């Protein structure tokens, strides 16, 4: 099947959302933990996390337009701190449930049977069940004019992962961690063990690295 931009504009809303959300491939499954100024913990599933730099460590996160109430965005904007928690396969059903429209005075941690934990005096809650936890401080809030979405850029100020999943060169093995990825809006898949390659050079053949 083939669609031009004029065709896409006239597609059924649900069909278009599923089509465009899934055409870019698998996306990381992460739970974003925040805490309101009033002390209410919040948790929401996101698939729009992207690496933006390593010195300093910067991670981008896209949010939907904020013309309606967005608890995660509001909490980040007011406190500047939030957590990114990798979702593993055993957590998938509970993690997906956080996408429901809960009231601002409800904690998704409690409702979705996930445990909040606080690490190293970091002000936002982490997900205890997650094997990869990242604490971020907001450094930029950028509006995307074309559709009103926002790009939040966070600086990594805390990173915790079990030693068993970190290689000697710093590589984090998400496959061994049983990480989940998202296909489209609601499809969850497992990560299988893959391949690693040495730094590519034009005058040398591709060389595999040992896992």
- State the 10-residue block means of pLDDT for the chain, 211 residues long: 94 95 95 95 96 97 81 94 97 96 89 96 97 98 93 98 93 95 95 89 89 64
Token pair in block for residue 128:
């205890």
- Check residue 118 and give its pLDDT: 97
pLDDT given at position 59? 98
> At a CB cut-off of 8 Å and minimum separation 6, what does 2 contact?
none
Which pLDDT belongs to residue 114? 97
pLDDT at 62: 95
pLDDT at 68: 62
Nearest to 152 by CA among 137, 161, 142: 142
Helix, strand, or coil here: 75?
A: helix
Question: pTM of this prediction?
Answer: 0.94
Q: Contact, 154 vs 137, CB < 8 A?
A: yes
pLDDT at 11: 96
Antiparallel, parallel or unpaired: β 49-54 and 57-63:
antiparallel
Q: Where are the alpha helices (DSSP H) in the chain?
A: 5-9, 13-23, 71-79, 92-97, 108-111
pLDDT of the residue at 211: 64
């Amino acid at each position: 099947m083939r669609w031009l931009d004029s065709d896409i504009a006239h597609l059924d809303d649900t069909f278009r959302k599923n089509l465009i959300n899934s055409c870019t491939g698998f996306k990381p499954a992460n739970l974003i933990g925040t805490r309101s100024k009033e002390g209410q913990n919040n948790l929401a599933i996101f698939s729009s996390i992207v690496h933006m730099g390593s010195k300093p460590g910067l991670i981008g996160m896209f949010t939907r337009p904020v013309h309606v109430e967005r608890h995660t965005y509001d909490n980040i904007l007011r406190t500047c701190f939030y957590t990114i928690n990798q979702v593993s396969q055993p957590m998938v059903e509970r993690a997906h449930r956080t996408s429901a429209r809960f009231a601002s005075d409800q904690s998704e941690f409690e409702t979705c049977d996930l445990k909040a934990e606080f690490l190293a005096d970091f002000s936002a809650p982490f997900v205890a069940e997650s094997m990869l936890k990242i604490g971020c401080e907001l450094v930029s809030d950028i509006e995307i004019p074309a559709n009103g979405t926002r790009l939040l850029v966070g600086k990594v100020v805390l990173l915790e992962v079990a030693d068993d999943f970190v290689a000697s060169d710093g590589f984090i093995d998400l496959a061994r961690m049983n990480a989940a990825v998202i296909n489209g809006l609601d499809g969850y898949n497992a990560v299988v063990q893959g391949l690693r390659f040495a730094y590519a050079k034009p005058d040398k053949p591709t060389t595999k690295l040992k896992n």
